[in-house]
Homo-oligomer: A and B are copies of this chain.
Amino acid sequence: MATPTDTLTLPYAADFHVHLRHGDMMRMVTPTLRSGGVNVAYVMPNLVPPIKTTEEALRYKAELEAIEPRVTYLMTLYLTPELTPEEIHKAAAAGIAGVKSYPRGVTTNSDAGVESYEIYYPVFEAMEACGMVLNLHGEVPSDADKGVCVLNAEEKFLPWLRTLHERFPRLRIVLEHATTKAAVDMVKSLGDTVGCTITAHHLCLVVDDWAGKPHSFCKPVAKYPYDRQALRDVVKEGHPRFFLGSDSAPHTRNTKECAQACAGVYTTPALVPYLAALFDELNCLDKLQGFACDFGRRFYGVQAGLDEGAMTLKRGNWEVPSVYAAATENGSLEVVPFKAGQKLGWQLQ
């Protein structure tokens, strides 16, 4: 007989930041949402080319639904100068949930990103009026002459977060994939309209873990032990404005194990098990549901996926596959997941 602590029953998780790609990669990744314990996916718009209009977002959503209809897809637009207040109203009416801002050039497919925010204030006003959420990739571009590098790029972005919140206090803003103590402290200091996503991998990694290890290399990079501790502490605290956004970002093995690796860690297929194993290790399994299932839905005001029955996690000794592969017209697609080949103490039943 299993003791109570050998199983765990939760609603399906909501992943408030995920990259589902397009084409073959989309077809491979999207079905793994549910096997990772997720039935709400907040979908990033940084395709090539980016999703910039309501029509593009709806078309993308339909593609995803055709692949896996048992997931609710919350769609986003990519913030560019072409985005107008009119388009915001149209998007909100069509159910588009948010707008994602990328500083130019800091991560995968961010060449169309922003350099300064003032020109977007009319768009933000419209978003505030419509209840759309602003999702911020919170890094300034690296510039060695200005002393900016991947290690301080997030901290140097934080004044923007405060400025935008002060200027648009009713606009819901999410600082995405926070990696630093500075970010945690800043978000805590701001009002209830400011949320923050934390990834599964940033709760696990420090800089040593991605040094020379492309499958754990992502942007923002994982940082100091004290930064990771701050992420863990806020999760253990059960702070309701800090919630799951996996930033799961699949890249093929050959674009990782090469001279210049793409940034991104692939966690979708085992997302909730990764978290359960970590929360268990941190002695805070009781905080898992809040972080992974409840707080994000509450911040966004969505009930999606809660009508579905619960999922059950059980203790185990499951080995993460060394690779996820799919046959394609041009050969095969291989993606190495987070903690490939390692044992996890929890798995989905």
Contacts and interface: CB of A to CB of B under 8 A. Distances in A.
By CB atoms of chain B within 10 A, which of A151, A210, A256 has the most?
Answer: A151
Given A152-B224, A224-B152, A257-B257, A212 B147 contact: no
Given A257-B257, A259-B336, A336-B259, A147 B225 contact: yes
Contact of A149 (B148, B206, B213, B260): B206
A186 to B, nearest CB: 21
A173 to B, nearest CB: 27
A10 B256 CA distance: 42
A4 to B, nearest CB: 30
Given A147-B224, A151-B224, A257-B258, A212 B217 contact: yes
Contacts of A150: 207-208, 211
Interface string A242-257: 0000000000000011
Nearest to A153: B208
Contacts of A212: 214, 217, 260-263
A225 B207 CA distance: 17
Q: How large is the interface on A (under 10, 10 to 19, 20 to 34, 35 or more residues)?
A: 20 to 34
Q: Is the interface of A mostly helix, strand, loop or mixed?
A: loop
Interface in A193-243: 206-208, 210-215, 217, 221, 224-226, 228
Nearest to A322: B259
A327 interface: no
Interface string A319-331: 0000000000000
Given A149-B207, A207-B149, A212-B214, A225 B261 contact: no
Contacts of A259: 213-215, 256-257, 336, 340
Contact of A225 (B148, B214, B217): B148
A144 interface: yes
Given A151-B151, A225-B144, A228-B144, A261 B213 contact: yes
A109 interface: no
A208 B142 contact: yes
A321 to B, nearest CB: 14
Contact of A206 (B144, B208, B226, B262): B144
Contacts of A228: 144
A157 to B, nearest CB: 15
Contacts of A210: 211
Given A257-B258, A259-B215, A149 B225 contact: yes
Interface in A132-160: 142, 144-145, 147-152
A213 B150 CA distance: 14
A150 to B, nearest CB: 5
A226 B149 CA distance: 10
10 contacts: A144-B228, A148-B225, A149-B225, A150-B211, A151-B151, A151-B207, A211-B221, A212-B262, A212-B263, A257-B258
Given A144-B206, A259-B336, A259-B340, 12 more contacts: A144-B208, A147-B225, A149-B207, A149-B208, A149-B224, A150-B211, A211-B217, A211-B263, A212-B217, A213-B260, A214-B261, A215-B259
